[in-house]
Amino acid sequence: MIKRIIEKTVSSIITVFLASVIIFTVVRFIPGDPVKIIIGSLGEISSTDSDLYRNKIQSLRSEYALDEPVVNQYIAWARKAVKLDFGKSMKTRRSVVIEIAKKFPATIILSVAGIIAEFLIGLTAGVLSAAYYDKALDRFLRLLCVIIISIPGFVLGLMSIYYFGVVHKAYAISVGSTANKLWLPVLVLGIIGSPKIARYIRANILEELGKTYIISEMAKGFLRWRIIKNAFMNVLPLVITYLLYSFTTLIGGAVVIENVFSWPGLGSYALDSVLNHDYPAIQAYVCVTVVIIVAINYVNELIEILLDNKK
């Protein structure tokens, strides 16, 4: 067991390191000069053909070490990053860590609420589909899952805004992270992710229903829903493990939903950073996301190792 834990730990560290190298390199290949874009967006200098403009460009490139070789840039950045110092945003000139810390709670609230909604919707659909296996309800739910998976997240988000916000006036279309703005993006996130959960629960319950103890319960005349409940309780640990993996996907996927619903989380911050070629902000956002995903997967794998060790 100790050997497996050490292997997973080393593997996680290597994953984060390689991801940071790839992120840092890919960001440098984004078309456009970030310094010129930032100067243009600030509007401090009207003429691009002046000594003041050229001096400003050189000053910013020196400040962000953009005039250094890429390898040297990465080493300098990595040394600071391990101390949670990702530098200053090229656009706002504020600490990237502070900006991310302000946006992070909104993303976590949305993601946690989204995974709960995803579980509840998927649980309902999965259990009903398994209980009415190969009947009309089962076929309908499976078809519905295929349809939902086929719809892009941003399309479902826009459709829901139009239906609830424009047609029925039940949703306030505005910028903010208040409770009355939370329910619709959470519902959309739940619907988007629920088909995979429903399929997973259905498949595991059906597999469980073929086991000896279930057949024995059927022979004893147990009620149908009691049998389904017992089967589900036995597959629940597998479902929880799957949910943890699903949560990592949801954190990354929430970027689109946050922008569709103007939710002030890391997703909108990331998109704004990409559009402005804000290297420090992009690198920090992606690195923080990768670390969170790797950490969740690491904890999940540790739980699996401990459970396997008890068998």
pTM of the model: 0.80
The confidence score (pLDDT) of residue 311 equals: 54
Mean pLDDT of the chain: 84
pLDDT at 177: 64
3-state DSSP assignment of residue 88: strand
pLDDT value for 50 = 63
pLDDT at residue 233, rounded to an integer: 87
- Beta bridge partners, 77, equal none
The fraction of the chain above a pLDDT of 90, given in percent, is: 26
Report how far residue 189's alpha carbon sits from residue 185's, in angstroms, rounded to the nearest whole number.
6
pLDDT at 45: 52
- The answer, yes or no, to whether residue 43 has pLDDT greater than 70, is no
Return the pLDDT at 84.
87
Query: What's residue 199's pLDDT?
Result: 93
List of residues 6+ apart from 132 with CB closer than 8 A: 138
Q: How confident is the model at residue 64 (pLDDT cuts 50, 70, 90)?
A: confident
Q: How high is the pLDDT of residue 3?
A: 81
Give the relative orientation of helices 96-131 and 266-275 as an angle to the nearest 10 degrees: 120
Question: What is the mean pLDDT of the segment spanning 45-58?
Answer: 66
Residue 137 binned pLDDT confidence (cut-offs 50, 70, 90): very high
Residue 160 near residue 192, CB atoms below 8 Å:
no
Q: Rounded mean pLDDT of 132-140?
A: 93
267-302 tens-digit pLDDT: 888 888 888 888 889 889 888 888 988 988 888 888
Q: Which residue matches tokens 């900006």?
A: 99
* pLDDT (tens digit per residue) in 204-258: 999 988 888 888 888 877 887 888 888 888 888 888 888 888 887 787 777 888 8
- Return the pLDDT at 212: 83
Give bridge partners of residue 88 from the DSSP assignment: 95
pLDDT value at residue 124: 93
Centroid of chain to Cα 275: 20
pLDDT band at 159 (very low <50, low <70, confident <90, very high): very high
| Residue 153, number of CB atoms within 10 A of its CB | 18
**pLDDT of amino acid 216:** 83
When mean pLDDT is compared over 98-107, 137-146, 301-310, the highest value belongs to 137-146
Report the alpha-carbon distance of residue 112 to residue 101 in Å, rounded: 17
- What is the sign, positive or negative, of the torsion defined by CA atoms of 243, 152, 147, 187? positive
Q: What average pLDDT does the segment 129-137 reach?
A: 92
